[in-house]
Amino acid sequence: MAFCPLCGKQLPANGICSCGKKLDEQGNIVDAVQQAAAPMQQAVQQAPQQVQAQPAPQPQPQPQQAPQQQVPPAPKPQPQPKPQPVFTAQQLADMKTRLGISAGAIAAVAFLVAYFSGYFALIAIVGAVVIFDNNEWLKKNVVKALVLLLCFSLINAVLYLIPDLLGIIYDAAYIGNVALGFVSKTRQVFNVLNDIIVLCKEVLFILLAFCALKMKTIRIGFIDNLIDKAFAQGK
């Protein structure tokens, strides 16, 4: 049995006295608490050295973003001309009015009446077709003949109005013994313009009449668009 040389108490089996002292293998007195804490202190002292020994992580290079390509604006859709209706021989034969006459023949008559006869007969044809017939193509063409006749009448009215005004000025100047030679020349210019308009009217109505016999037409921008819009709103 062994006894602690400091306090004289009997040492337990592990050799550590209750006073915290123990005997090592050589018989020396050792502080058991400090001996047990020595490995932990050594580990704590080595930990900062290991942390300092590790190299700091280098920043990873960020991938370069590809330059954004500018997308060109989408092109604006161009208005396409409306295709002309194409009819087969059987469809042409079937396109009869209630009078038994083909729609093309009545449309041709409407254009010729607009050229030769004037408003009274043309208005009678337009009224009969619009009220009693169901053929939309025929309705549009007879209305087109009436609208064209109105347009030419309006142009003629303007061209006749200006020479009349110039004539009044010329007569007033003649009374006052003032020579206005340019007035007579200007009236001659408007007379020539009026003759050109009349010639265009004759050619256009004759061409439209021949086209109507073949169930075709000559599109005149604002007039055809106006008629199409009017029929679309009337449905």
- DSSP for 47-115? HHHHHHHSPPPPPPPPPPPPPPPPPPPPPPPPPPPPPPP---HHHHHH-B-TTS-BHHHHHHHHHHHHH
Measuring CA to CA, how many Å separate 144 from each of 69, 107, 111, 124, 148?
52, 10, 9, 14, 6
Residue 87 in contact with residue 95, Cβ under 8 Å? yes
Q: Is 65 left (phi over 0), alpha (psi -120 to 50) or beta?
A: beta
Contact 77, 70 (CB under 8 A): no
Contact 210, 104 (CB under 8 A): no
User: Is the model's pTM score more than 0.75?
Assistant: no
Per-residue pLDDT of the chain (235 residues; tens, 9 = 90+): 556 665 666 666 666 666 656 656 555 555 655 565 566 666 656 655 554 545 555 666 665 665 566 666 666 777 665 555 555 544 554 456 666 778 889 999 999 999 887 789 999 999 999 888 888 899 999 999 999 999 999 998 888 887 777 777 766 666 555 555 666 677 778 788 888 998 999 999 999 999 999 888 899 888 999 999 988 887 6
Q: How far is CA 206 from the centre of its chain?
A: 40
Q: What whole-number distance in Å separates Cα of residue 213 and Cα of residue 95?
A: 12
Q: How far apart are CA 235 and CA 233, in angstroms?
A: 6
